[in-house]
Structure 1
Amino acid sequence: MARVLVVEDERVIAWHLQMVLEKLGHTVVESADSGIQAIRAAETARPDLVIMDICLKGNIDGVEAAEQIYQSFNIPIIYLTAYADAATLQRAKRSSPYGYLLKPLRTQDLQSTIEITLHRHQLEQSAKNTQIQIQENLNQQLQQVSAQFSVGVICIHLLQQLFHQISIHANETDALKAVLQQLGQSLAARYCWLTRYDTEQVRSASERGKATVICEYSEDGLGDHPSLMGRVLDLQQNSEFYQHLNRRKFWLSPDNQRLPVPYQALVVPGTQLLVCSLGNEQMIIGEMGIVTTDEWRWSEQQIELISNVMGQAAIALRQLSSHLLPEESQGIGTVDRLKDEFISAVSHELRTPLTNMRMAVEMVQRVANSLKNSDANPEAQKNSQLLWQRMERYLQVLQEEWNQEFHLINDLLDFQGTGIADDPILLAPLNLQEWLPPIVNRLIPQALKQRQMLTCRVAPTLPVLTTDASSLERVMAELLNNALKYTPSGQQIRVTAEPDETWLRLSVTNTGATIPSEELDRIFQPFYRISRRDAWNFSGTGLGLALVKKLVTRLEGLVQVESDNDRTTFTVLLPL
């Protein structure tokens, strides 16, 4: 039953209304005879609903009192009237009351109006609460997307700085210092530093000896921060700290007792300290430290992304400084040209996804604003489902472009590492009959979506292969992705594995496209793109097939290509 405020300036009618309400089981919390008294009673008693006479005497009539009560206290109003002039009735309609009761009252009308009013108000409140909760969830999602997006942009800037340093022939130390400065400025960090271990390509901290700070950045020229430049740390004396980093984990504002002594002075009130390993899955060459204000909210994904990009950049710079394209015998002019082509291609490829990401973020913000204003806009309420669908689509675009950007970064850095480093490969027995079909099957949905036929055949007599499964999977993924990308709709992609004397022959064949014969010898060169006149001209950095060649060479194999009569076959030969 309802708690009711009765507002009626005719005492007899007010008394009769109270009697009927109580007979129906409701409670009259108070009775008022003026607009001002009604507003005060609503504020103190907070009834479930108000039955308001439209024509009240005094400076505030029933319509104005009802508007103030509903706007201030969100209490539904039922108007009570016997007569009113046309202007007053129009004002009453515009105030969107929950119902009208005509004098003299009928008990049945009173009860049904009260029930409808309470039910409608309950539904509206439930919808409003749900909308508020949806809005809160949306704000959280937008904050998360915005944070990931901002860190992604920071990483792109780091890579752009890295490529710039390569283009101006900066040495390793100067280039790392410039990249670290870019990171510090992008994060508004108080202080950043990099260390280098004196032993690399090992996975146990106990096998290492020392870590030396090789470069640092400070927003205020060090200021209150002590300089760490040139400091040498003993890894074995801080074994717990470095064993944690060795497992590719990070330290975020740890207790001072866990930190090496030189780092302890960096932890001051109002700041937070992040320390993470510098390297990749194959090697750890040092660590990176960042001091930011405690207002910055780190997530594991953000830390992992920045750590990976900085680690790969450090490895690439070290390798480039001493082994620039060692298998090539080019002159300086050729190297400069390759660098220029590389930077040009990278700039284009990085810019396109970023532009799409920015547009998606702007559209998400517009939709969010529309949803925020839907309470006061009935038309927006009707279209809320459409707005949510648009929101989901823009978020999907943002995610896709982010993935494209991230994979591009990984490809670029992997090429730098694989093309130069002599990392040990992990040889192990590999059963192709069990290993290859799942790799191909993962791509069948994409092929079907593009109306392509993707098949796989492995010879039953194929012996067990001894190789590095990770490198071989990367090779097959690159060849298959290329085939899916360049095969026209309605054409076929066939993957085969069969023995050929002392070799294993892995082939990826696609129909519907031909590479010009004069270009076949050049497609494995870094940064090379096929001429625009051919159907195989698609955007890319020209590193995919170069990466395939590097990986296959490390596996002591060969990679070949044949293309004619609308059929192209890439073949990987690996020693059995």
Structure 2
Amino acid sequence: MAEISPQILAVFQRALSLRERAQESPVRNDLLDAALKELYDVLEELQVAEEDLYHRNQELTNAFQEVISQRQRYQDLFDLTPHGYVVTDAQGKILEANRAIATLLASPRAFLIDKPLSIFIAPDDRQAFSLQLGQLQNLKRIEAWEIQICPVQQSPLPAVLTVETTRDPSGSITCLRWLIQDGRERQQFKKLLVEQNTQLEQQALQRTEELQRALEFETGLKRITDKVRDSLDEAEILQIVVEEIATRLKLDDCSAFLLDLDAETATLRYQFAAAQDHIYSLGDIVEIANNRELYTQISQGYSFQFCTWSGEQGQSQRTILFSSIFDDQGTLGYLQLTQLYSRVFNHQEIRLVQQVASQCAIALRQARFVHTIQQQIRQLEILNHLKDDFLSTVSHELRSPLTSIKLSIRMLEIALKQSGVLTTEPHPINNYFEILKTECDREILLVNNLLDMARLEAEKAQLFLTTVELQTWVPTIAKGFRERCQLQQQQLCIEIPPDLPPLTTDVTELEQILRELLHNACKYTPAHGRISVTAQSTAGSIALIVSNTGVEIPLSERDRIFERFYRIPHSDPWKHGGTGLGLALVRKRVEYIGATIEVQGQPGQTSFQISFPPYPPYGDPVSPQTESDLA
């Protein structure tokens, strides 16, 4: 390249000189000018080509240096890598070997060159190696090939081979690149992996057993808890707890003691003894003062165990566990568990006993609470019966005198009218006499209501069923209230559907119910208010509804208004008064005839709905009553 450039430059300068001389010559030859111009152009093209050739030559030089550098780096990596690398031809003859493989095969690198790789394979594996080498003609790569290699003058050792083929454009193998790793680490790793897998399997098995025990623990605890909570008998609760714990833990003795802290004693209430050698018997009373330290821990809710020892042999005779039956209100007692010989209670067993003791405390509190409530209910029932008996007796005793007083008032009225003392003209005597009659009637009504209440509560009376048509029966009963409504400027409406089916019930009781509801409606409906009696039928059931406007019973009072002697506070602006027995009698009568009553309220309106069942609850009905029969 350096020789070509000066020659091109010399020719270029000579052509340029000839061109200048031709231009100076007086004789001009066009052919010569064209030749010189073409020569000049050719020289310029040669100069450009020469520069391009120079640059390409420079690039080739740089690429060659890079190849040399990369080859050196590859050689360094090849030599310094900790794994053994070998390059062989297609027949397995070694062409290159790094330091690691020389060390692994215990031979100098120069000794390995041109040696067949197969001579370093253990005799037992050479045939398989040759077969696999022949199959590489059709393969690209073989990985993780475990085989035995033989270092020079050493015992065979395990190795792992990876081989990859390198081919020319025609597909023929140019060389084989081998990665040969010491298999001893791999074997150690596999051994370690097997050991770890074994440990994991053991841990999984152990964890499974723990979970199984935990599941059995929870299942057993739930079974005991359900049994204990289903019982309200103190003795049965202790029996369940003791027997379940003794059976589950296979105890030699299990006892339940209840504490009397005031008397400082503990009484054995239930015992399960598998062995005859037990310390206490059922009903034994233990003095707390004899072992105050032990009972101090029990009263604080602790669980603890200890062993008793034989003086002769120096061995444990029995293990005793104490677990307090304890809750947030204090200690009720304790469980005493005994195991013979040297077996102690483990953590899970102690936890089970503590949980059961806790549930036992809850169940005992519940049983005692229910027992107390039942006693109070029985006492209240006795008092209620005494009160009812008293009211019934008083009512019976008052009924005859009041009847005589009413008859006397009637006779006195006749006598006073005949003597002219009672007249139609206003006079204080007339007022006094009216008050006397009114109060006498009121007391007679109270006595009759009390007697009716006692009769209905005794449930000894028999129903007399009659079939009535409400379309004619209700107006007949309401007829007596129309005049009262007119005087009080109230509107009384009867709305009974014509197609309403007949009703079978005890008509006498139903009449008392309807009269009481209409009486209350007239009392609490203001002037210009509306009182209505309606009926409806749904799926064979008949409902009779009495409504009135002007008042609304609060939702909180709707259940209490049916209690005896109960009156809603501040709900009687007209000061009508009353005994509070009317609605109580209504509900008793409704229940007596097998119906139900419901209070419904809307703003400014109250409704009482009596619902009758589709069929009469007792007996056979008699013929329907009509308006003429009632008359």
Work out which of the two has the higher radius of gyration on C-alpha atoms and give 1 or 2.
2
Larger RCO (CA under 8 A, 6+ residues apart): 1
TM-score normalised according to structure 2 size: 0.32
